Amino acid sequence: MADLLVDIWDRVLRHVQKNHSEHWRNWFEQIEPASLDNGTLRIEVADNSWRQYLKQYCTEAFTQAAQQVTGHLISIEYVSSEQDDENQPQGKDYRDSSDQTDLLCFSPDYTFDNFVVGPCNRLSHAACLAVSEAPGKVYNPLFIHGSVGLGKTHLLQAACQAFLKNAASPPQVLYMSCETFTNDFIHAVEQGDLYNFRYKYRYVDILVIDDVQFLSERERSQEEFFHTFNTLYQNRKQIILSADCSPTEIPKLEDRLVSRFNQGLVTRIDKPTFETRMAIVKKKAGMRSIKPPEEVVKFIARKIDSNTRELEGALTKIHGLAMLDDSPITLELARQALGEEPTPAHRQVTISQIIDAVTEHFNVRLSDLQGKKRSRSIAHPRQVCMYLARELTQHSLEEIGGHFGGRDHTTVLHAFRHIDKLCDTDENVRGTVNSLTAGLTQR
Ligand code: ADP
Ligand code: MG
Alpha-carbon span 5 to 13, nearest angstrom: 12
Among 115, 211, 308, say which to mutate for ligand 1: greatest number of ligand atoms within 8 Å of CB: 308
At 178 the three-state DSSP class reads: helix
Give the tens place of pLDDT for each residue, 403-413.
Answer: 998 899 999 99
Q: Is the CB of 153 under 6 A from ligand 1?
A: yes
**Atom number of ligand 1 nearest to Cα 308:** 12
Tell me what pLDDT residue 86 has: 44
Q: Is the CB of 152 under 6 A from ligand 1?
A: yes
CA of 178 to the centre of ligand 2 (A): 11
* First-last CA distance in the chain: 60
Q: Has domain 2-80 been given CATH number 3.40.1080.10?
A: no
Q: Whose CA is nearest to atom 11 of ligand 1?
A: 309
Q: Whose CA is nearest to atom 25 of ligand 1?
A: 115
Q: Whose CA is nearest to atom 18 of ligand 1?
A: 151
Entry field: residues in the chain: 443
* pLDDT band, residue 341 (cuts 50/70/90): low
**Atom number of ligand 1 nearest to Cα 311:** 12
Q: Give me the mean pLDDT over the 118-134 stretch.
A: 96
Q: Has domain 274-337 been given CATH number 1.10.8.60?
A: yes
Q: Whose CA is nearest to atom 19 of ligand 1?
A: 151
Give the tens place of pLDDT for each residue, 280-326.
Answer: 999 999 999 999 999 999 999 988 887 888 899 999 999 988 988 88
Q: Whose CA is nearest to atom 27 of ligand 1?
A: 151
Alpha-carbon span 443 to 436, nearest angstrom: 11
Q: Whose CA is nearest to atom 26 of ligand 1?
A: 115
Share of the chain above pLDDT 90, in %: 64
Q: Do the beta carbons of residue 354 and residue 440 sit within 8 Å?
A: yes
Q: Domain spans of the chain? A: 2-80, 94-268, 274-337, 351-441
CA of 244 to the centre of ligand 2 (A): 9
Q: Whose CA is nearest to atom 1 of ligand 1?
A: 149
Q: In CATH, what class is 94-268?
A: alpha beta
Alpha-carbon span 343 to 334, nearest angstrom: 11
Cα–Cα nearest to 436, from 400, 394, 389: 389
| Statement: residue 1 has pLDDT above 80 | no
Tell me what pLDDT residue 213 has: 96
| Statement: residue 95 has pLDDT above 50 | no
Alpha-carbon span 80 to 201, nearest angstrom: 29
Q: Whose CA is nearest to atom 6 of ligand 1?
A: 151
Tell me what pLDDT residue 326 has: 86
Q: Is the CB of 283 under 6 A from ligand 1?
A: yes
Tell me what pLDDT residue 374 has: 86
Q: Do the beta carbons of residue 143 and residue 159 sit within 8 Å?
A: no
Tell me what pLDDT residue 82 has: 61
Label the pairing between strands 265-268 and 142-145. parallel
Among 123, 309, 311, say which to mutate for ligand 1: greatest number of ligand atoms within 8 Å of CB: 309
Please give the CATH superfamily to which domain 351-441 belongs: DnaA protein, C-terminal DNA-binding domain (1.10.1750.10)
Tell the burial category of 85 from Cβ atoms under 10 Å away from its Cβ (0-12, 13-18, 19+): middle
Among 22, 117, 129, 150, say which to mutate for ligand 1: greatest number of ligand atoms within 8 Å of CB: 150
Cα–Cα nearest to 420, from 428, 409, 411, 429: 429
Q: Give me the mean pLDDT over the 434-439 stretch.
A: 89
Lowest mean pLDDT among 73-87, 217-231, 266-280, 367-381: 73-87
CA of 362 to the centre of ligand 2 (A): 39
Q: Is the CB of 312 under 6 A from ligand 1?
A: yes
CA of 301 to the centre of ligand 2 (A): 21
Alpha-carbon span 291 to 128, nearest angstrom: 29
Tell me what pLDDT residue 381 has: 96
Q: Which residue has the higher pLDDT, 168 or 391?
A: 391
Tell me what pLDDT residue 443 has: 62
Q: Whose CA is nearest to atom 13 of ligand 1?
A: 309
Tell me what pLDDT residue 124 has: 98
| pTM score of the predicted model | 0.78
Q: Give me the mean pLDDT over the 122-140 stretch.
A: 95
Give the tens place of pLDDT for each residue, 155-213.
Answer: 999 999 999 888 878 788 999 999 999 999 999 999 999 999 999 999 999 999 999 99
Alpha-carbon span 162 to 164, nearest angstrom: 5
Q: Is the CB of 346 under 6 A from ligand 1?
A: no
Alpha-carbon span 284 to 193, nearest angstrom: 44
Name the closest ligand to CA 311: 1
| Statement: residue 430 has pLDDT above 80 | yes
Tell me what pLDDT residue 389 has: 92
CA of 148 to the centre of ligand 2 (A): 7
Q: Which residue has the higher pLDDT, 414 or 438?
A: 414
Q: Is the CB of 177 under 6 A from ligand 1?
A: no
CA of 109 to the centre of ligand 2 (A): 14
Q: Give me the mean pLDDT over the 53-70 stretch.
A: 92
**Side chain identity at residue 390, one-letter code:** R
Alpha-carbon span 200 to 183, nearest angstrom: 14
Q: Whose CA is nearest to atom 20 of ligand 1?
A: 151
CA of 56 to the centre of ligand 1 (A): 19
Give the tens place of pLDDT for each residue, 345-389.
Answer: 445 789 999 999 999 999 999 898 888 888 999 999 999 999 999
Q: Is the CB of 308 under 6 A from ligand 1?
A: yes
The count of other CB atoms within 10 Å of the CB of residue 263 is 13
Alpha-carbon span 442 to 330, nearest angstrom: 21
**Side chain identity at residue 164, one-letter code:** L
